[in-house]
Amino acid sequence: MSQKFDLDFVQHSPFLPTSYSWLGLIILSAGIALAFFTWQHYQARLIVHNEIALELTQLNDQIHIVPPVDSKSADIAPETKTQIEATVATLTTPWSALLVAIEKSDIKDVAILSLEPSSKKQLVLLSGEAKNLQSVMNYISRLEEQPMLAQVYLQKHSVDEANSSKPVRFTLAAQWHTAAVN
């Protein structure tokens, strides 16, 4: 009396019900069509991009053609040459590095009121106010620690007796080195 029990509760059909198989085919077809049209759109954009890049390259080649200069006709008047040299000196001054060096030296009790650089002498004049003379001396020490600055010295100072806190007004001079910038 042995009886066979069928305990397989999941139906293993090789095919899903027809409604699911059609839905899957529709989604697959839509995905393939979307991928195909996206690829075509990308190819069209790539062709347009390459054409524009070629046109830009040709335009740049036309723009950068500079006629040769006849060196014999380029005589410069001495006044003009002096002005050009002054302008080049001003433009090649390492302003950013100079300002960074001065900012790194900042201390609490000192306020810089003016900065006057001289490109020709590679000298910068700093005018400011400090709480006391010791603060000015500490500031000079901090400036001397900067690799870009050298020969920092106090040109003049005065105590403002009219003010109740008696601040010290001062003027400093410092040489800068362009080699420290590089």
Q: Report the pLDDT value the prediction gives residue 10, as an integer from 0 to 100.
A: 65
pLDDT at 71: 56
Domain 89-176 bears CATH identifier 3.30.70.580: no
Helix runs in the chain, H state only: 18-63, 78-91, 95-104, 133-144
DSSP 138-175: HHHHHHHTSTTEEEEEEEEEEE-TTSTT-PEEEEEEEE
Long-range contacts (CB closer than 8 Å, 24 or more residues apart) made by 73-81:
none
> What is the pLDDT at residue 171?
94
Per-residue pLDDT tens listing for the chain (182 residues): 678 776 766 665 655 555 567 788 899 999 999 999 999 999 999 999 999 999 988 888 777 666 665 655 567 888 888 888 878 777 777 778 888 888 888 888 899 999 888 877 888 899 999 999 999 999 999 999 988 888 898 999 998 888 888 899 999 999 887 654 44
Predicted confidence at residue 52, as pLDDT, reads 93
Which pLDDT does position 110 carry in this prediction? Answer: 92
Q: Residue 109 carries which side chain, given as an amino acid letter?
A: D
Any idea where the domains of the chain sit in the sequence?
15-62, 89-176
